Amino acid sequence: MVITISREFGSGGKYIGEQLAKNLNLKFYDKEIIERLSKEENIDIDFLKNIDESSKNSFWNALAVAYMVNPTDSINSFVDLPMADQYFIKTVRLIEKIAKEDNCVIIGRCSNIILKDHPNVINFFIYSSNQEFKINRKKEFANLEEKKAIKLMQKKDKDRAAYYHYYTNEKWGDRSGYDLLVDSSKLGVDGTIELLEQYVKSKTK
């Protein structure tokens, strides 16, 4: 079983994913993906962190998505792509590998689209309609001042939406890409974890 979680910045999505993985005895992958990619492909970790889920200034590249449809293509077929796109394709391969290896929770990185044909995948999107909820979480858990939290929140969500669209040609947060979209400010973080856990158990009976 694989659970993917896309999330708005400040919604608690990463923490929710971590606790859901712990409660369901699943492995958890977030930054672990780029750490493993850095190690297996001998890529500078700082470079990967810089491009991870960051916005793009160029047009969506159909070849990157074509790889998802035909994963037997050699990476050598894409040597003319920008470096960041080549590393995205490597990330696709790694996420597919992880999904075959482990029962797990994967955070972000277009994983709901990458694994759309995986036989046992559940896709969640965590957001918050209450901006104060997100700001307060960043003030409390990231020790950010309010103005900085707002600025970072706007940038991160813009980057994630652009990254998602660039590589999938789909809209980030569109309901058609997920099994369940949850407003974490309505139930709170703990209530959201409980809801998602109940949902997963109902789907896997």
Neighbour tally for 166: CB within 10 Å: 22
Dist. CA 72–CA 94, nearest whole Å:
14
2 neighbors 121 (Cβ within 8 angstroms) = yes
Q: What is the pTM of this model?
A: 0.86
pLDDT, greater one: 184 or 67? 184
- Cα–Cα nearest to 171, from 160, 182, 179: 160
How is residue 99 written in tokens?
């999904």
How is residue 203 written in tokens?
């789907």
**What pLDDT does residue 55 have?**
59
Question: What Rg value do the Cα atoms of the chain yield, rounded?
Answer: 17
pLDDT, greater one: 40 or 74? 40
Neighbour tally for 83: CB within 10 Å: 10
185 neighbors 130 (Cβ within 8 angstroms) = yes
Beta strands in the chain (DSSP E): 2-7, 27-29, 104-107, 121-127, 180-183
Arithmetic mean of pLDDT, 166-188: 95
**What pLDDT does residue 58 have?**
47
What would the pLDDT profile of 55-113 be if each residue is shown by its tens digit?
565 434 445 444 454 555 554 555 566 777 888 888 999 999 999 999 999 999 999 99
Neighbour tally for 27: CB within 10 Å: 14
Amino acid in position 201: K
What would the pLDDT profile of 107-158 be if each residue is shown by its tens digit?
999 999 999 999 899 999 999 999 999 999 999 999 999 999 999 999 999 9
Domains and CATH numbers, the chain: 2-203 (3.40.50.300)
Question: For the residues of 41-66, what is the DSSP string, one character each?
Answer: HT--HHHHHHHTT---SS---HHHHH
pLDDT, greater one: 55 or 6? 6
pLDDT at 196 over 60: yes
